[in-house]
Structure 1
Amino acid sequence: MNTVTLGVSSIDEAKERLAAAFRGEPQGQRISFVSIDLLWKTISPKRWDIIQAMTGQGPLAIREVARRLGRDVKAVHGDVLALINAGVVDRVENGVVFPYDAVHVDFMLKAA
């Protein structure tokens, strides 16, 4: 199964994973955000719906994503562009794709 992990990590943690990858240690697919606030801002509830609709589906036209969600094409287009700009969704020749079959969300909440 092609799973991506969405998570929160500092620049130092990302550098550590990069160094481990260069040493040949498998890291898996990961999309990291520098803060939980940025993760929630980027992956809003409506954008999460888009990710769910696209998971494991291969390339889709934005119009098809909107149809599956019962949403306005223009609104879905704006949300998909935000996901593209964040590196979550990829633009392909015949539409857009979320190239994963599963999503794991990983972050820790610590006492203030």
Structure 2
Amino acid sequence: MIERDIRVAADALDQAAAEVSVAWKAAAAGHPVAPTDRLYFSNWEALCAVLTPKRYELLRHLRRTPADSIRALARDLGRDVKRVHEDVTALEELGLIERDATGRLTMLVDEIASSIRFAA
């Protein structure tokens, strides 16, 4: 199972930078570094701007049924091709879906775990 960890915290940039720093120092010292698969958002609004209800619906659909193209996906979802293309591009950048050389779209993760920090 592939899992993506999403964290929402006001100090998200600091947390990400600290993780990179620790990994960099460990690698420089010759120690193995376990990869992490984490997305950080500084607030709830930033997360919701990226993982919209339409994108969530798109992810659920791709999890059940990979699509041969963006046009086919848009047809399956009953949505405009341009908007679906925008959503696919955004979700690809997050590493949640991938498009192979033929244009086939698949969802990469089985689970998205999220934590939201309300107080420091």
The two structures have a TM-score, normalised by structure 1, of 0.71
Q: Please show how residues 49-88 of structure 1 align to structure 2 within 5 Å.
A: 49-55=57-63, 60-88=68-96
- Shift of the 109–56 alpha-carbon distance from structure 1 to 2, 3 Å rule, reads farther
Cα deviation, residue 27, structure 1: 5.5
Contact 1:80 1:89 in 2 (8 A): yes
**Equivalent in the alignment of 2:29:** none
Per the alignment, in what secondary structure is the counterpart of residue 55 of structure 1?
helix
Task: Tell me the residue number matched to 2:15.
Answer: 13
Count the aligned residue pairs.
Answer: 111
- The separation in 2 between residues aligned to 1:8 and 1:67, in whole angstroms, is 33
* Unmatched segments (≥5 aa) in structure 2: 27-31
Shift of 1:58: 6.0
Partner residue of 1:109?
Answer: 118
Question: Could you report, residue by residue, the CA deviation over 1:11-53 in whole angstroms, capped at 9, with x for unpaired residues?
Answer: 1100222234443464542122233211111111101111222
Instruction: List runs of 5+ in structure 1 lacking aligned partners.
Output: none
Q: CA deviation at 1:97?
A: 3.7
- CA offsets 1:83-110 (integer angstroms, 9 cap, x no match): 3345544443122443212211221234
Length-normalised TM-score, structure 2? 0.67
- Do 1:89 and 1:97's aligned partners in 2 also have CA atoms closer than 8 Å? yes
RMSD (Å), alpha carbons:
2.9
| CA distance 1:101–1:58, shift in 2 (3 Å) | farther
Q: Which has the larger radius of gyration?
A: 2
Question: Is the 2:7–2:41 Cα contact (8 Å) retained in structure 1?
Answer: yes
Change (3 A) 1:32 1:55: farther
**Distance in 1 (alpha carbons) for counterparts of 2:5 and 2:67:** 20
